[in-house]
């Protein structure tokens, strides 16, 4: 699986939509554990992942964190703010570092108002994301840890655009609500079977077919829901680009501007 160069949702947009949205987009790098916005926090930016993967989470009173969904290169983070939802109902945290395009909410709101195609695509994405949340809840309640771990690794690879994932077993245990020792044992079985290999916070999927056989049905359901609701990427005209404005304000000190999209 090759490393992606663009967000698939943006790649599906026509030149007409790009005319409204592209001037407001900037490219940046996001890092693990970076918080994009928190629960009940004002959402100021909309993010279009290129190869970064973010986790949407809710926290319980006992301190436990529960992951409700993952968003990556086929999605958008914080888009509901463009429809008037100013505050987030979940915490968005980067789990796999990578590149991302972002825009201020006001610019996306203006594009949504003026371009029905963009409005329709974002609504479809939010439908797919809601379906993802529902499926994850059912999965966590009914499926065993082994199949859930396989599902999560496969989905992370899809969203990152690479079979090489920078994920620690400690982090996976936290997101799966399991003991680290249990996750380690399952990961060792996967490695012994030739499905994955792991070392020092890096997991590589060696045999996706075997791993899919170990995963629960939820992996295929979530993936097919996104494919059904979102349009396939179209070939962009040679002169289309998503420019980066000079002198853009940085939300985090470790966010670095990159070149043109």
pLDDT in tens, 155-202: 999 999 999 999 988 888 888 888 899 999 999 999 999 999 998 889
Q: Looking at the domain assignment, is residue 239 inside a domain? A: no
Taking a C-beta distance cutoff of 8 angstroms, is the pair 194, 210 a contact? yes
Residue 108 is part of which domain span? 8-229
Q: What is the DSSP letter of 32?
A: T
Counted domains in the chain: 1
Residue 249 lies in a domain: no
CATH code: domain of residue 38: 2.60.120.10
- Position 261 in a domain: no
Q: Is residue 14 part of a domain?
A: yes
Q: Quick check: is 246 in a domain? A: no
Task: Assess if residue 210 is contained within a domain.
Answer: yes
Q: Is the distance from CB of 104 to CB of 47 less than 8 angstroms?
A: no
CA-based nearest residue to 9, from 225, 229, 244: 229
- Residue 142, domain member (yes or no): yes
Q: Both tokens of residue 157?
A: 């690879």
Query: pLDDT tens-digit profile of 83-132?
Result: 988 788 889 999 999 999 999 999 999 999 988 988 998 999 999 999 99
Condensed to tens digits (0 to 9), the pLDDT of residues 194-242 reads: 999 998 889 999 999 999 999 999 999 999 988 887 766 544 443 445 4
Tell whether 255 is covered by a domain. Answer: no
């Amino acid at each position: 699986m090759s490393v992606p160069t663009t967000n698939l949702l943006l790649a599906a947009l026509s030149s007409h939509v790009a005319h409204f949205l592209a001037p407001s987009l900037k490219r940046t790098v996001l890092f693990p554990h970076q918080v994009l916005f928190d629960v009940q926090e004002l959402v100021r930016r909309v993010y279009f992942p290129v190869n970064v993967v973010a986790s949407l989470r809710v926290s319980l009173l006992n301190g436990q964190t529960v992951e409700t969904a993952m968003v990556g290169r086929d999605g958008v983070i914080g888009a509901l703010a463009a429809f008037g939802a100013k505050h987030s109902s979940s915490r968005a945290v980067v789990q796999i570092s990578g590149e991302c395009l972002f825009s201020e909410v006001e610019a996306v709101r203006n594009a949504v108002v003026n371009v029905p195609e963009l409005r329709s695509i974002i609504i479809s994405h939010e439908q797919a994301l809601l379906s993802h949340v529902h499926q994850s809840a059912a999965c966590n309640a009914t499926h065993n840890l082994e199949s859930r771990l396989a599902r999560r690794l496969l989905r992370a690879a899809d969203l990152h655009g690479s079979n090489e994932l920078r994920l620690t077993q400690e982090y996976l245990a936290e997101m799966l609500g399991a003991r680290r020792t249990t996750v380690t044992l399952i990961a060792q079985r996967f490695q012994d079977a030739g499905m994955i290999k792991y070392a020092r916070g890096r997991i590589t999927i060696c045999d996706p077919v075997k791993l899919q056989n170990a995963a629960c049905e939820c992996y295929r359901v979530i993936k097919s829901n996104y494919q059904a609701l979102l349009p396939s990427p179209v070939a962009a005209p040679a002169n289309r680009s998503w420019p980066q404005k000079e002198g853009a304000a940085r939300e985090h000190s470790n966010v670095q501007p990159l070149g043109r999209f």
